[in-house]
Structure 1
């Protein structure tokens, strides 16, 4: 009996040690080229490369957990994942639930509008009868309520469904980051127009989210971000995954994520 107990203790101890050497990173693999899956179904993209680099920096194994964007913060709070690296903007509302690292990138919100919507600038959307689509759980939802209170706001779970609605003219505009707007415009040039001009007063900083009370981990993440940035790794990722888009943004004098 004593030998069995000793064996079980060793097994449990090994499991605890293994778990301590592993970090589960939550992200929604639906935002290429930051978070996506390759042809074999494996996670890839800028955020994935960054997550693995962070794991190497911390001496931890990394497991990528794919889940719906709106479920990321609840999963973090209930300890189903250990951190979020999913192009997540820092907002005051989110800061009530989780901690954020120092920003590693910044973005802002742009619009994809239907060509027949009559919308030439952002303020044209703030009218009764106009319909604006947003993705559930994104900062675009909050911003739409603030900047376009007179428009009807429609909330969707899937980006693909929104693009179809805009392309068909069932909604007037889609609010999201400029990279997504640019990519969807490329695929729907006959029916849509990108409005890339920044209509917010401030940009949207992106950061890594972690649980409250885990400030030691947060300090290590901040150190990693500083070192990763200073070594030029963010620019390498941008060139690897976004060379064409970066050149386009520079030509149009549009701010880029890592500028």
Structure 2
């Protein structure tokens, strides 16, 4: 008899508690899933972009975001019929801006890496670039074993920084700068001997200074994707829908060719193969 009474008391106590826990859990899931709906209801999508990594990210004559990333952001907003709000940021503050909701998504040349996947979720890739070491023709770097002989600059906390650091032997003198432009300028004025940058930027520098600079070492190829907070599955689904559609209709490839004068690489157009 005592056991039956105790069972009834516990049931009366536990049912409301369990109900509250389930309600909180369900509410959290709904909140997470509804973020994309909030963006659509707002009518504006806030897209984080860079303006200091041409031709991927640049500013036009009116100081508005331009380049390939700026164009992708516009295609994205147009695809969903939303007003576009650019949120200009620097390389190091891309993920912090995203995690504090200053931007809904990033179209900011953010390469997919295992470390970043712990913090954010990525769409299918929309872009790619090879990372290289660029320097004067007189610099004798051909393998990582040569790195310690020279001063090498990289943009701080970038995938170039990660890539160079990964292969650099002990004793390498790495100089970290706030962004790509600062690192490149340091190389041009002789403050450092080589700079980690994209193959596209390297080609532009070589074109502007014929015979003076060369690609010393190829670090890796990076695939870039739209990034967003992890707790937003419907937003991820929408971004992948946009990429699939504008990849299929050729708009992304046409935009890439406009800015980089080459087709999108197969690692982007056929990422699962």
Per the shorter chain, which TM-score range? 0.7 to 0.9
Q: 1:142 to 1:17 in 2, by over 3 A?
A: closer
Q: 1:131 to 1:59 in 2, by over 3 A?
A: same
Q: What is the CA deviation profile of residues 30-68 of structure 1, one whole-angstrom value per residue up to 9, with x for unaligned ones?
A: 122222121112222221221122112223211011111
SS at match of 2:95: helix
- From the two aligned structures, give the one with the greater strand fraction: 2
Q: 1:87 to 1:18 in 2, by over 3 A?
A: closer
Aligned to 2:42: 20
1:227 correspondence with 2:248: no
Mapped contact 2:91–2:179 kept (Cα < 8 A): no
Q: What is the CA deviation profile of residues 181-200 of structure 1, one whole-angstrom value per residue up to 9, with x for unaligned ones?
A: 111222333542224x6444
Give the alignment's TM-score, normalised by structure 1.
Answer: 0.80
Q: 1:162 to 1:256 in 2, by over 3 A?
A: farther
Mapped contact 1:167–1:192 kept (Cα < 8 A): no
Aligned to 1:58: 80
> Separation in 1 of the partners of 2:64 and 2:267?
24
Superposition pairs for residues 78-157 of structure 1, below 5 Å?
Answer: 78-119=100-141, 121-126=142-147, 128-150=148-170, 151-157=172-178
Aligned to 1:182: 203
Q: What is the CA deviation profile of residues 62-93 of structure 1, one whole-angstrom value per residue up to 9, with x for unaligned ones?
A: 10111111111101000111110011101111
Cα RMSD of the aligned pairs, angstroms, is: 2.5
Give the alignment's TM-score, normalised by structure 2.
Answer: 0.76
Q: 1:39 to 1:26 in 2, by over 3 A?
A: same
> Separation in 2 of the partners of 1:221 and 1:18?
13
> Separation in 2 of the partners of 1:18 and 1:230?
24
Q: What is the CA deviation profile of residues 193-252 of structure 1, one whole-angstrom value per residue up to 9, with x for unaligned ones?
A: 224x6444xx31110001111110100110110111111112211232233xx39x9xxx
Work out the number of aligned pairs and report it.
Answer: 231
- From the two aligned structures, give the one with the greater helix fraction: 2
> Separation in 1 of the partners of 2:146 and 2:155?
17
1:167 correspondence with 2:195: no
Q: What is the CA deviation profile of residues 112-166 of structure 1, one whole-angstrom value per residue up to 9, with x for unaligned ones?
A: 11222222x233533x332211012310111111101331111011434323332
- Unaligned 5+ segments in structure 1 are 1-15, 250-254
